[in-house]
Amino acid sequence: MRLTQQQLEAHLWGAANILRGKTAGQDYKNYILSLMFYKRLCDQWENEADEAIAELERQQGKPFTDKQKAVFRARGEHRFKIPEGARWGDVLAVSENIGEKLTTAMRAVASANEELRGVFTVDWNQPAPDASGKKLIPNEVVHALIQHFDEVDLSNKSVPADILGRAYEYLIKQFADDAGAKAGEFFTPPEVVDILVRILEPTAGDTIYDPTCGSGGMLIHSADFLREKGHNALAARYFGQEMNWGNYAIGKINSVLHGLEADIRGGSSTITDPQFLDHGKVKQFSTVLANFPFSDEFWWLKPEQQTDDKKKRDKLKKEVFGKEGYKDVYGRFGRGAGFKAPPAGYGDYAFILHILASLTDNGRSGVVCPQGVLFRGQPEVEDETGEFDEDGNPVIKRRKADDEHLIRQGLLDARLIDAVISLPLNIFYGATVPACLLILRKKRPPARHDSVLVAYAARHFRALSDQNELRPQDVMRILVHYHAYGDPQKVPALVREHGGRLRSQIDQREAQEVERIKALYREHEERLATIDSELATLNNDATREKNKAEKAKLVAKVSKVEAQRAKLVTKRVERDQRIEVVRKQAEEDRAAIDIVGEELSRLYDDPAELAKHARVVPFDEIRDNEYNLNVPRYVDTFEPDRTPGVPQAIAALKAAELTAKESERSLHALLREIGYDTE
C-alpha cells in the first residue's frame, strides 16, 4: 500500500510521541530521525533486491530458489550496503537489550558506507545517569518504537523519495516548534530561506555552499528551486559544514533523502577549522547561503576550547590575536586579506568575511545577520581636548575607528553589498534581536554598482503565540522590492510572477494541511463508521426483540455505544473546525496576495510613499552617513498612531458579531450531534 505524505507524517509523529519525555531535553529528535533513516535504508535495500531478483527471473523465464535469492541479496548491487546481521529483521527479532542491538546495527551500516559516516550519532544503549544500571531509554520503549516503525514500509515501493523527503522536513519543522529557542541552531524558517534562494537564483552549474548548514534546509530549497526552473537538482553541486554532530546527522540524512549527493562535513567550526580548502585557502563557491550563530562571543575558539575557564580562554586569546587582530592562517581577514580582523566579542563579521572569501569572482551570497552589523562600530573621531599647544592651536585627540566600522566601510567601498533587508522581530527560533538579510555580490550590474537597496520589511508579519512568521504576501513584498531594485517598470511583471506562484503555493499548503488534519483524525473516523454500523444493527435487533429482558439489555447497550459515538462526534466537529480555520486562513492569504499586488503597483507610482518601504540609496549618501547602514537612516520607518475611526470601529464590531454568531452555530451543531435539543 502506497502511503500519502500526510499518512506518513502522522505515523512518524506518532513515533515521536512514543519517545517524548524519555530522553534528555530535545535529544529525542535525533533518535527519531535516525531511526526513521535506518528503517528507510533497510527497507530500500530489501526493495532493491526484490526488484533485481524479479527482473532476473523475468529474463531467465523461471523463478529463483530461496537459496539463490539469499545469495543474490548478499551480493547484489545496492545504493547503500547493509551488512548481514545489521538489517531491520535482525533488530526486529530481538526482544532483550534491543537498544544495544539497534546501536550496533546502525554503526555497522555507517561503517560500511563512507557517505554515512557520522550519521548515526545516538546511543540507544546509553545508561541512565543515576548509575542505577538502568537504560536511559528502557527496553520496552525501544521495543514499542521498533514495532511502530515496523507497521509501515519506507521503501520506494510504498513511499516515493520526494514524499519521504517532504515528510522528513515536516518532522524537522515539528521538532523545531517543539524545541522553541533551541531550534535556532538547526532550523531557519522556510519563508526566509525561500526569499534568499529566490534572490540568489541558483542555476545549473552552480556550486552551492552553506558554512553553518544545520539541518540542510538552504541546500534543499536551492535544489527545489532548480527543479522548479526545469533543471535536474544534480545540475548543481552542494556543500555544507556543521559544527554540531547531531545537527550534522540531520542535515546529512536530509541530503540523502532528497538525493542531493551533498558533501556535508561535521564536527568542527567553520571559522577555526574550515573543511573546504584549496591550496591553503578556503575553497570558493558560486553561491553561498547562511544563517550563522548571531554575535558569537567565542568565534575564535575551537568548540572543545569554549568550555575552558576564563583563565585558559584569556591565554588562548593572546595566542590567536596579535597587533593586526586574529591570526587567520586561511587569509580571510587581517593583514593581506584587505579587511580588518573582526573583534573578539562579536563573531558576525568573522562569518561574513569567511563567506566573502568563499565566493568566486562572480559569486553571490545571502546571509541572515543581526542588524548590529549594519551600524556597530564608530568611525575615526577627532575631539578638541580644551587644551592648546604652544602656538595657541587647540589640541586634537584622535580615536581610531572601530574594527567593525572599518570592515563595513571596506565592504561598501568595494561595492560588495548589494542589498540590506530588515526583517520583523521574533521570526527566528531563539533570536530576539532584530535581524536582516545581507546580500553580497562580487560583480554587480553596472546600473547599481554605486548604490545599495535598503528595504524595511519589519512592519508586515503574522503574529503567532510564540513567535512571528512571514506570510506569503510579506514574502512577495520583499521579492518585488529586491528584483525591481527601484524600477517601477518591472513591478507589474514581478507582481504577476510572484503572485501567481504564491497563490499556487497557498493552494498546495491548504490541501496538504487539510489532508494532514484528516490523517490525524482518521482513526476516529474509522471507529465512528464501525460504531454507526454497530448501532444500526443494535437498533434493528432492539426493534425486533420481543423479550422484554433481552430488549432492555439491547437498549442499555445502545445507550452505551451512543455515548462512545458522542465522543467521536466531538472529535469530528473538532476536526472540521480545524479544517475550517485552515481554509479561512488560506482564503485570507489568497485575497491578501491580490491586495498587496495592487498596493505595490500604487507604491511604485508614488516615490514619497515608496521611501517608507524601500530605497535605492546612492553610495555618496552612505558615505555622508559615515558608512552607517542602519535602515531608519534611509527609509522612513516611523509608524503613525493608527487610532481607528468610527467606520473602522463599526466594521470591527460587525466582524466580531459575525464571529460570535458562527461560534454559536458551531456549538449548537455540536450539541445536536451528541443528542441535545438546542431549540
Mean pLDDT of 621-630: 96
Q: Helix, strand or coil for residue 491?
A: helix
Lowest mean pLDDT among 2-16, 157-171, 634-648: 634-648
Alpha helices in 469-490 (DSSP H): 472-484
Lowest mean pLDDT among 21-25, 282-286, 423-427: 21-25
Record the pTM: 0.87
Q: Return all residues near 439 (Cβ < 8 A) that are at least 6 apart.
A: 199, 200, 364, 365, 366, 367, 417, 418, 419, 420, 421, 453, 482
What would the grid cell of residue 235 be? 545540475
Note the pLDDT tens digit of each residue in 406-416.
Answer: 999 999 999 99
Phi-psi region of 331 (alpha: psi -120 to 50; beta: other; left: phi over 0): left
Q: What is the CATH number of domain 5-159?
A: 1.20.1260.30
Q: Return all residues near 175 (Cβ < 8 A) that are at least 6 apart.
A: 16, 26, 29, 33, 183, 187
- Pairing assessment for the beta strands 462-463 and 614-618 based on DSSP bridges: unpaired
What would the grid cell of residue 141 be? 520503549
For residue 495, give the nearest of 598, 591, 568, 565 by alpha carbon.
598
Structural domain spans, the chain: 5-159, 176-381+399-469, 487-603, 642-679
Q: Helix, strand or coil for residue 11?
A: helix
- Under the banding of pLDDT at 50, 70 and 90, the label for residue 388 is confident
Give φ, ψ of 321 to 5 degrees: -115, 125
Helix or strand (DSSP H, E) at 196: helix 190-200
pLDDT at 348 (0 to 100): 95
Question: Are the C-beta atoms of residues 569 and 529 closer than 8 Å to each other?
Answer: no
Q: Helix, strand or coil for residue 239?
A: strand
Note the pLDDT tens digit of each residue in 25-58.
Answer: 557 888 999 999 999 999 999 999 888 888 888 8
Measure Cα distances from 435 to 292, 385, 666 in Å. Answer: 12, 38, 42
Eight-class DSSP state of 488 = G
Give φ, ψ of 3 to 5 degrees: -90, 145
Q: Helix, strand or coil for residue 468?
A: strand
Note the pLDDT tens digit of each residue in 126-156.
Answer: 888 877 878 889 999 999 999 999 999 999 9
For residue 622, give the nearest of 411, 431, 423 by alpha carbon.
411
Note the pLDDT tens digit of each residue in 544-560.
Answer: 888 888 888 888 898 99
Percent of the chain with pLDDT over 90: 61
**Residue the block writes with cell 561535521:** 266
Note the pLDDT tens digit of each residue in 353-383.
Answer: 999 999 999 999 999 999 999 999 888 877 6
pLDDT above 60 (res 642): no
Question: Are the C-beta atoms of residues 236 and 212 closer than 8 Å to each other?
Answer: no
Q: Which CATH architecture has domain 176-381+399-469?
A: 3-Layer(aba) Sandwich (3.40)
In 502-650 the beta strands, taken as DSSP E runs, fall at: 614-618
Question: Are the C-beta atoms of residues 285 and 207 closer than 8 Å to each other?
Answer: yes
What would the grid cell of residue 604 be? 511604485
Q: Helix, strand or coil for residue 71?
A: helix
Question: Are the C-beta atoms of residues 225 and 247 closer than 8 Å to each other?
Answer: no
pLDDT at 679 (0 to 100): 57
For residue 421, give the nearest of 369, 378, 497, 382 by alpha carbon.
369
